[in-house]
Amino acid sequence: MNIGEAARRSGVSAKTIRYYEGIGLIPAAGRTRSGYRAYTANEVETLRFIQRARSLGFSVDEVGALLELWRDRSRASADVKAIALRHVGEIERKIAELDSIRRTLLDLTTRCCGDDHPDCPILDRLASEVG
Amino acid sequence: MNIGEAARRSGVSAKTIRYYEGIGLIPAAGRTRSGYRAYTANEVETLRFIQRARSLGFSVDEVGALLELWRDRSRASADVKAIALRHVGEIERKIAELDSIRRTLLDLTTRCCGDDHPDCPILDRLASEVG
DNA sequence: TGTTGGGCTTCCAGTCACTGGAAGGTCAAG
DNA sequence: CTTGACCTTCCAGTGACTGGAAGCCCAACA
């Protein structure tokens, strides 16, 4: 099947499939006589795997590692779990950071009356750290 | 003062200060006879403002808008509040997304025994969406 | 006076993971 | 035989920096 069909079936855009091939995340696809890339159902499965891993926030490098483990029948599930747990750690760090920012901003916005006057605790805080 | 000192006092790296000047976030600094950028205490205050706004996750464009409002004595605090509340909304959306991913991954990692066997619910899920 | 070391300058390239777009070849249908 | 959808490659841009090369400037010390 052509790249457009593979894109539709996998949820990965044609542009992105070419990009993945370019950076070596997936091997170069076969070609028709006229030079079009041709995909098998198997390759589409790989693309779906990639799509799901990316949507869980794994970096392209991590996805590469997960793909290798997926293909490796003698893998240790511990290796997969390690990648996933490291990723969970990063996500939790990000959530904590965002939540701290969120709490700060909610505090400031609550105290800003938001009318047509210039007085504003938000700007005060940005200008001087205490606010 | 030189750019290095301004960087130290503001918490914005020299490289980044030049970058901010290049994209027009701050006006071009004055120069000494030999071409070194020269900063006043006031300009360092502006840099500190930028640094704090960036650390609260505002985009450089939003920081530009906040700077304009900061300098505008006839601003309406409602305009500042609107920017901040929109930003809070984005943060909450990101937190929700990360939390959903986190819950999925924790579920999968809990069910993955993480030993030297290949069986792995994490890979199963990436391979077939149900898992 | 010479030189050493740090700081400053500009400019180009790289990061991450794509995305947009131009210029042109291919294919099936009408 | 043409239309329109598809495919190809290649280059450039995104955000917000960061690294590094090549070269000028300046204060201090022998």
Model confidence at B129, in pLDDT bands (50, 70, 90)?
confident
CA distance A45 to A119: 57
Buried b (16+ CB within 10 A) or exposed e, A75-86: bbbebbbebbbe
Structural domains counted in chain B: 2
- How far is the alpha carbon of B34 from chain A, nearest alpha carbon, in Å? 32
DSSP bridge pairs for A30: A38
CB A81 within 8 A of CB B105: no
Contact residues on chain B for A81, CB-CB shorter than 8 A:
109, 112, 114, 120, 122
- How far is the alpha carbon of B69 from chain A, nearest alpha carbon, in Å? 8
Q: Could you tell me if residue B2 is inside a domain?
A: yes
Q: Are residues A47 and A93 in the same domain?
A: no
Cβ neighbourhood burial of B120 (10 Å; 0-12, 13-18, 19+): buried
C-alpha dihedral over B5, B8, B10, B11, to 10 degrees? 150
CA distance A13 to A23: 15
Q: Could you tell me if residue A68 is inside a domain?
A: no
Contact residues on chain B for A77, CB-CB shorter than 8 A:
112-120, 122-123
Best mutation target, A52, A80, A116, A119, to test chain B (most B CBs within 10 A): A80
Model confidence at A11, in pLDDT bands (50, 70, 90)?
very high
For the CA of B36 and the C1' of C1, the distance in angstroms is: 26
Q: What is the mean pLDDT of residues A30-51?
A: 97
Q: How many residues does chain B have?
A: 131
Q: Are residues A82 and A119 in the same domain?
A: yes
Q: Is the pLDDT of residue A131 over 80?
A: no
The number of C-beta contacts closer than 8 angstroms across A and B is 152
Sequential DSSP letters for chain A: --HHHHHHHHT--HHHHHHHHHHTSSPPPEE-TTS-EE--HHHHHHHHHHHHHHHTT--HHHHHHHHHHHH-TT--HHHHHHHHHHHHHHHHHHHHHHHHHHHHHHHHHHH---SSSS--HHHHHHHHS--
Q: Are residues A51 and A1 in the same domain?
A: yes
Q: What is the mean pLDDT of residues A81-90?
A: 96
Q: What is the pLDDT of residues B39-69, one digit of tens each?
A: 999 999 999 999 999 999 999 999 999 999 9
Q: What is the pLDDT of residues A101-125, one digit of tens each?
A: 999 999 999 999 999 999 999 999 9
Q: Are residues B51 and B85 in the same domain?
A: no
Contact residues on chain A for B74, CB-CB shorter than 8 A:
118
Q: Are residues A53 and A86 in the same domain?
A: no
CA–CA distance from B54 to each of A102, A107, A127 (Å)?
Answer: 14, 17, 13
Q: Could you tell me if residue A69 is inside a domain?
A: no
Q: Are residues A8 and A53 in the same domain?
A: yes
Q: How many residues does chain A have?
A: 131
Q: Could you tell me if residue B64 is inside a domain?
A: no
Q: Could you tell me if residue A25 is inside a domain?
A: yes
pLDDT of the residue at B131: 54
CA distance A78 to A101: 34
Q: Could you tell me if residue A66 is inside a domain?
A: no
In A 8-27, which Cβ lie closer than 7 Å to strand C?
13, 15-16, 19
Residue range(s) defining the domain that contains residue A39: 1-57
Q: Could you tell me if residue A31 is inside a domain?
A: yes
Q: What is the pLDDT of residues B75-103, one digit of tens each?
A: 999 999 999 999 999 999 999 999 999 99
Q: Are residues B92 and B125 in the same domain?
A: yes
Q: Could you tell me if residue A3 is inside a domain?
A: yes
CATH number at residue A29: 1.10.1660.10
* SS3 at position B112: coil
Strand B37-38 to A30-31 pairing: unpaired
* SS3 at position B9: helix
Q: Are residues B52 and B82 in the same domain?
A: no
What is the pTM (predicted TM-score) of this model? 0.92
Q: Are residues B53 and B80 in the same domain?
A: no
CB B109 within 8 A of CB B120: no
Model confidence at A129, in pLDDT bands (50, 70, 90)?
confident
